[in-house]
């Protein structure tokens, strides 16, 4: 590795470190067992993401990234966590995280996914600068970790949080690449908010119907029972 190009330059180091912090928070999401802690971790991830976006805006000299940071902070760092806490309170599901897979196996799978994304991203982007490549690998890992969380959790609420953290990974990839138009980011943010509203309605419907947010009940309805 050519360390003179990348490591040791503050703008690169800090961007890299913030990306890694987002990834570590993805691992923390998998580790948590309480609903409240999961939501708080998701909020923390959004805060770090906002910091990463703002730092990229400063180091790339791209002011529209500050808007991205503000959206991440306001919508995903404050509004959605508050709404999720509200749902948890109203449905009284404080400590009901049922994992389909144990915490340790799912985290081990997570490390495997990170290795996979590095091995996929780095060889295919050899011509790009070190900053873009490793940030892309980090972002892809966050996306894969979000998918993993959606697979390994049974409760609909945690699956939705997995989906949201997946979207955090997408934003992380977007801010790392110079020249992403603001329109795309705005539409993604609006899409997530809309999806969240739909999910919120959905929670109450599932709860009303089955007295639980465990999505394995849905198998019966879908005719997946064998």
Partner 1 sequence: MSAAAGLLLALAAQLLHVALMLAAAPLLVGVIRRVKARLLGRAGPPVLQPWRDLLRLARKQPVVAENASWLFLAAPAAGFAAVLAAAALVPSFALGMASAPVADLLVIGGLLALARCILALAGMDIGTSFGGIGSSREMTYAAFAEPALILVVFTLALLVGTTNLDAIAAVLREGALGLRVSLGLILIAIIAIAIAENGRIPVDNPATHLELTMVHEAMVLEYSGRHLALIELAAALKLLVWMTLIGTVFVPFGMAPAGALPLWWATGMLAWAGKVGVLALALAGFETAIAKMRVFRVPEFLGIALLLALLAVVFLFVSQGFA
Q: Are 168 and 76 in contact (CB under 8 A)?
A: yes
Check residue 58 for interaction with partner 1 (CB under 8 A).
no
User: What are the b/e assignments for 48-68, b being 16+ CB within 10 Å?
Assistant: bbbbbbbbbbbbbebeebebb
Contact 121, 141 (CB under 8 A): no
Q: Is 67 in the site for partner 1 (CB under 8 A)?
A: no
Report the C-alpha gap between 87 and 204 in whole angstroms: 9
Cβ 17 to partner 1 shortest distance, Å: 5
DSSP per residue, 97-134: --BSS-HHHHHHHHHHHHHHHHHHHHHHTTTS-HHHHH
The residue (of 21 and 206) whose beta carbon lies closer to partner 1 is 21
Q: Does 16 bind partner 1 (CB under 8 A)?
A: yes
* Interface pattern 25-44 for partner 1 (x via CB under 8 A): --x---x-------------
Counting Cβ atoms within 10 Å, is residue 4 exposed (0-12), middle (13-18) or buried (19+)? exposed
# residues contacting partner 1 (CB under 8 A)? 34
**Using rule CB under 8 A, residue 172 touches partner 1:** no
3-state DSSP: the chain helix, strand, coil percent, rounded to 5? 80, 0, 20
Residue closer to partner 1 (CB basis): 18 or 206: 18
Told to check if 123 binds partner 1 by CB under 8 A, we report: yes
Closest CB to partner 1 among residues 11, 86 = 11
Nearer Cβ to partner 1, position 76 or 133?
133
Q: Rounded to an integer, what is the distance from CA 166 to the centroid of its chain? A: 4
Binding track over 72-111 against partner 1, x by CB under 8 A: -------------------------------xx--xx-xx
- Binding site residues, partner 1, CB under 8 A: 1-3, 7-10, 12-14, 16-17, 19-21, 24, 27, 31, 103-104, 107-108, 110-111, 114-115, 118-119, 122-123, 126, 130, 134, 137
């Amino acid at each position: 590795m050519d360390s003179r190009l990348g490591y040791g330059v503050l703008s690169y180091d800090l961007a890299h470190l913030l990306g890694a912090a987002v990834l570590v928070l993805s691992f923390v999401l998998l580790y948590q067992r309480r609903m409240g802690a999961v939501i708080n971790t998701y909020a923390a991830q959004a805060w770090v993401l906002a910091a990463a976006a703002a730092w990229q805006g400063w180091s790339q000299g791209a002011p529209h990234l500050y808007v991205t940071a503000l959206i991440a902070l306001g919508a995903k760092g404050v509004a959605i966590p508050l709404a999720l806490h509200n749902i948890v309170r109203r449905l009284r599901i404080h400590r009901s995280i049922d994992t389909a897979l144990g915490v340790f196996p799912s985290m081990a799978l997570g490390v495997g996914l990170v290795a996979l994304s590095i091995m996929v991203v780095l060889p295919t982007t050899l011509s790009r600068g070190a900053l873009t490549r490793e940030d892309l690998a980090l972002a892809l890992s966050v996306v894969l970790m979000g998918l993993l969380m959606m697979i390994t959790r049974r409760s609909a609420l945690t699956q939705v949080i997995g989906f949201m953290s997946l979207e955090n990974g997408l934003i992380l990839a977007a801010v790392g690449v110079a020249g992403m138009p603001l329109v795309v980011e705005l539409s993604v943010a609006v899409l997530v908010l809309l999806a969240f509203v739909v999910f919120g309605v959905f929670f109450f419907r599932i709860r009303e119907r089955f007295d639980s947010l465990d999505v394995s009940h849905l198998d019966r309805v879908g005719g997946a029972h064998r």
